[in-house]
Amino acid sequence: AAQSIESNFIFYSEEMNQRAKEHLRIESELRQALQNNELALFYQPKVSLRSGRIVGAEALLRWRHPLRGLVSPGVFIPVAEETGLILDLGEWVLEEACRQVREWRDANLIMPPIAVNLSARQFDAGLPHRIAVVLERYGVQPDQINLEITESLLVRGTDNVIAIMNQLVAMGMSLALDDFGTGYSSLAYLKKFPISTLKIDRSFVIGLPYEENDCAIARAIVTMAQQLRQEIVAEGVETAEQMSFLRELGCDQLQGYLFSPPVPAIEFATMLREGKRL
Ligand code: C2E
Ligand code: CA
Ligand code: CA
Ligand code: CA
**Alpha carbon separation from 33 to 104, 122, 133, 153, 202 (Å, rounded):** 25, 20, 24, 27, 29
Q: Quick check: pTM over 0.90?
A: yes
Ligand 1 contact, 256 CB (< 6 A): yes
**1, pLDDT greater than 50:** no
Are the CB atoms for 237 and 208 separated by under 8 Å? no
Counting ligand 1 atoms within 8 A of each CB, the residue from 39, 47, 60, 96 with the most, and so the one to mutate, is 60
Going from the Cα of 266 to the center of ligand 4, the distance in angstroms, rounded, reads: 24
DSSP 124: S
User: Confidence class of residue 223 from pLDDT cuts 50, 70 and 90?
Assistant: very high
Number of Cβ within a 10 Å radius of residue 58: 23
Residues 6+ apart with CB under 8 A from 95: 134, 137
Instruction: Give the per-residue pLDDT at 16.
Output: 75
End-to-end Cα spacing for the chain: 63
Ligand found nearest the CA of 256? 1
What was the ipTM of the complex prediction?
0.97
Going from the Cα of 134 to the center of ligand 4, the distance in angstroms, rounded, reads: 27
Instruction: Give the per-residue pLDDT at 185.
Output: 65
What pLDDT digit, counting tens, does each position of 15-27 carry?
778 888 888 888 9
Ligand found nearest the CA of 116? 1
What pLDDT digit, counting tens, does each position of 228-267 carry?
999 999 999 999 999 999 999 999 999 999 999 999 999 9
Going from the Cα of 150 to the center of ligand 3, the distance in angstroms, rounded, reads: 8
Residues in the 5 Å CB sphere of ion ligand 2: 117, 148, 178
User: Confidence class of residue 166 from pLDDT cuts 50, 70 and 90?
Assistant: very high
Ligand found nearest the CA of 236? 1
Residue 142's SS3 state is: helix
Residues in the 5 Å CB sphere of ion ligand 3: 178-179, 235
Average pLDDT of the residues in 137-158: 89
